[in-house]
């Protein structure tokens, strides 16, 4: 399939702004060329025309910058939906992780029984009631499964993601309310401890087996699943994340399954990076997700 690179430079949903610069940073560091050298065709390569502002303090309704984010997500949803309808594989570059609400709705529009593989330190499954921060990048999965604020749920229409079609990989920081939601909805979770115990290879084999009856999978990758030693260029730093090889294997296994419908890489913040280290690492990971193989 030919690829559509969709830059989604929206960063009103995160903690520290700056991920709006990620799509162009990755391009300037050679992402597009590197993908082409894999023998893949890029049919489209553009940034969405989304409006950002500057973060203010926490809003009273615990939904920081909701209106701006809703506008951004509509634009993203339409784009992913259209690119898929035209037969291309969307490669979405965030932006903060609110993106997954627009992207996944676009995927569900084409494949109502699609699955989601979510590489993240976080579950991003807070509602307005459970969120400690009011930051909407911590809420997209709740909205996708039909929980939380009506306006977020309504992004891209009424389609919902079946909680049984989700697999988390790499969790290491959950809020108490999120733990309950994960449990109540019986959502498949592989924590960092599970990866320590089983190894990334086994975890991915199980995850893909678990999703085998879906229409295919959307892969959503948050840079903060990585250890900050490897990936300082992101808004939240927590010890004990994935190393480069584990993340790489995870993405290689996704590709090798033949089930990938679309890919998304988010929360790279070039303003927090050192010497473009995180950005360069992410380019390698994107290529792994697109099928680049090692020796």
Catalytic residue numbers? 97, 120, 122, 124, 137, 222, 224, 267
Using CB under 5 A as the binding criterion, the count of chain residues that bind Mn ion stands at 8
Among 65, 81, 105, 122, binds Mn ion (CB under 5 A): 122
Q: Please list every residue from 133 through 152 that binds ligand ARG, using CB under 6 A.
A: 133, 135, 137-138
End-to-end alpha-carbon separation of the chain, Å?
A: 24
Measured CA to CA, the distance from residue 26 to residue 35 in angstroms comes to 12
Instruction: Work out whether 236 is an interface residue with ligand ARG (CB under 6 A).
Output: yes
Does the footprint of ligand ARG cover residue 264 (CB under 6 A)?
A: no
Q: Which is nearer to Mn ion, 223 or 288 (CB)?
A: 223
Q: Cβ 43 to ligand ARG, closest distance in Å? A: 29
Q: Which stretch binds Mn ion (CB under 5 A): 87-95, 117-125, 269-277, 280-288?
A: 117-125
Q: Which residue is nearest to ligand ARG (CB)?
A: 138
Residue 222 engages Mn ion in binding (rule: CB under 5 A)? yes
Q: Are 199 and 187 in contact (CB under 8 A)?
A: no
- Binding of ligand ARG at residue 97 (CB under 6 A)? yes
| Least distance to ligand ARG, CB of residue 73, Å | 14
Strands of the sheet containing 89-94, edge to edge, are 42-47, 3-8, 89-94, 260-266, 217-222, 115-119, 166-171, 188-191
Nearest residue (CB) to ligand ARG, 234 versus 262: 234
Q: Which of 11, 149, 222, 246: binder of ligand ARG (CB under 6 A)?
A: 222
- Token duo for residue 43: 């049919």
- 43 lines the binding site for ligand ARG (CB under 6 A): no
Alpha carbon distance 21, 9 (integer Å): 6
Pick from Mn ion, ligand ARG, none: which does 131 bind, CB < 5 to 8 A by kind? ligand ARG
Q: Would you count residue 120 as binding Mn ion (CB under 5 A)?
A: yes
Size of the site for ligand ARG (CB under 6 A): 15
Query: Which element (helix H / strand E) includes 117?
Result: strand 115-119
Q: Is residue 218 a contact point for Mn ion (CB under 5 A)?
A: no
Interacting residues with ligand ARG between 167 and 196 (CB under 6 A)? 175
Query: Which of 228, 190, 193 has the alpha carbon at shortest distance from 210?
Result: 190
In the chain, helix, strand, coil percent, each to 5? 40, 15, 40
130 close to 178: Cβ distance less than 8 angstroms: yes
Pick the stretch among 43-51, 164-172, 197-205, 222-230 that binds Mn ion (CB under 5 A).
222-230
Stretch that binds ligand ARG, among 71-79, 120-128, 183-191, 209-217 (CB under 6 A): 120-128
Q: Which residues contact 87 (CB under 8 A, 6 or more apart)?
A: 1, 2
Phi, psi of 234 (to 5 degrees): -155, 165
Structure tokens at 19: 């991920």
Tokens 């610069």: give the residue.
21
Distances (CA, A) of 90 to 7, 150, 204: 10, 27, 22
The token pair that represents 20 in the structure block: 């709006």
CB of 287 to Mn ion, least distance (A): 21
Q: Which residues bind ligand ARG (CB under 6 A)?
A: 97, 122, 124, 126, 131-133, 135, 137-138, 175, 222, 224, 236, 267
């Amino acid at each position: 399939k030919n690829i559509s690179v969709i830059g989604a430079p929206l960063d009103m949903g995160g903690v520290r702004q700056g991920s709006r610069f990620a799509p162009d940073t990755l391009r300037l560091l050679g992402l597009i060329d590197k993908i082409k050298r894999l023998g893949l065709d890029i049919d489209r390569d553009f940034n969405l025309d989304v409006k950002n502002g500057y973060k203010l303090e926490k809003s009273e309704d615990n939904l920081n910058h909701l209106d701006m984010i809703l506008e951004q997500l509509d634009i993203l949803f339409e784009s992913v939906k259209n690119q898929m309808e035209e037969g291309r594989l969307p490669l979405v570059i965030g932006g903060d992780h609110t993106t997954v609400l627009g992207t996944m709705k676009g995927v569900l529009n084409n494949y109502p029984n699609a699955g989601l593989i979510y590489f993240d330190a976080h579950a991003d499954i807070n509602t307005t009631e459970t969120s400690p921060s009011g930051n909407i990048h911590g809420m997209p999965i709740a909205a996708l499964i039909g929980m939380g604020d009506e306006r977020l749920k309504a992004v891209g229409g009424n389609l919902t993601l079946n909680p049984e079609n989700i697999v988390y990989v790499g969790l290491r920081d959950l809020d108490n309310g999120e733990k309950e939601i994960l449990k109540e909805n019986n959502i498949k979770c592989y924590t960092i401890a599970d990866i320590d115990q089983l190894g990334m290879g086994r975890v991915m084999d199980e995850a893909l087996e678990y999703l085998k009856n879906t229409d295919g999978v959307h892969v959503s990758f948050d840079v903060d699943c990585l250890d900050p030693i490897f990936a300082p260029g992101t808004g939240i730093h927590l010890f004990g994340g994935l190393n480069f090889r584990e993340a790489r294997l995870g993405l290689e296994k996704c590709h090798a399954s033949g089930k990938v419908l679309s890919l998304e890489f988010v929360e790279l913040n070039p303003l927090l990076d050192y010497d473009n280290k995180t950005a360069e690492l992410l380019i390698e990971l994107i290529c792994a997700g697109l099928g680049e193989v090692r020796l």
